Amino acid sequence: MTTFIDTSTIFAALREEEPHHEWAVEQIDAARAEGALFIPDLVFAELCYDQNQVGDVLAIIEELEIERVGHTPEALFLASKVFRRYRENGGTKLTMLPDFLIGAVARTEQAPLLTANEDDFLKYFEGLEVICPSGRHVAEPERPAPRGRRR
């Protein structure tokens, strides 16, 4: 089985002081035992943030046996639609949120996402299996807000 990994999980696995360190290490090992591990290009870019050279990031993903994948047109389209729904629901960010791109890649590939930060993924990606510290969840369809009574 293919599993996508969010930046939060990789950071937690690399940093012993992170609250979800042990969980992240165990989950990455378990997912690797079941199949291939992938990160979208955006996760690669986020990993670069606190590294000195690109070679450092390449070493991390090689050590963790993770492969990199690009963003397909379908994933980019889905991320855009999710961002639009976020804005229509009162979201205040004016530019695309990284989690929307990461979630869209996993959802369009129909693969689970391993993340220590499940909120946006569960809220916006119907059908996406999310593996997080609180367990395994499948994002459900968004329900419309109840309307007031009419007279």
For the chain, list the domains and their CATH numbers.
3-138 (3.40.50.1010)
What digits encode the pLDDT tens for the residues 91-134? 898 888 899 999 999 999 999 999 998 888 988 899 999 999 99
Pairwise CA distance, residues 129 & 75, whole Å: 16
What are the start-end ranges of the H helices in 35-140? 41-48, 54-63, 73-88, 98-108, 119-124
Q: pTM, whole model, 2 decimals?
A: 0.87
What digits encode the pLDDT tens for the residues 45-96? 999 998 999 999 999 999 999 999 999 999 999 999 999 999 999 989 888 8
As given in the structure block, the two tokens for residue 81 are: 């639609």
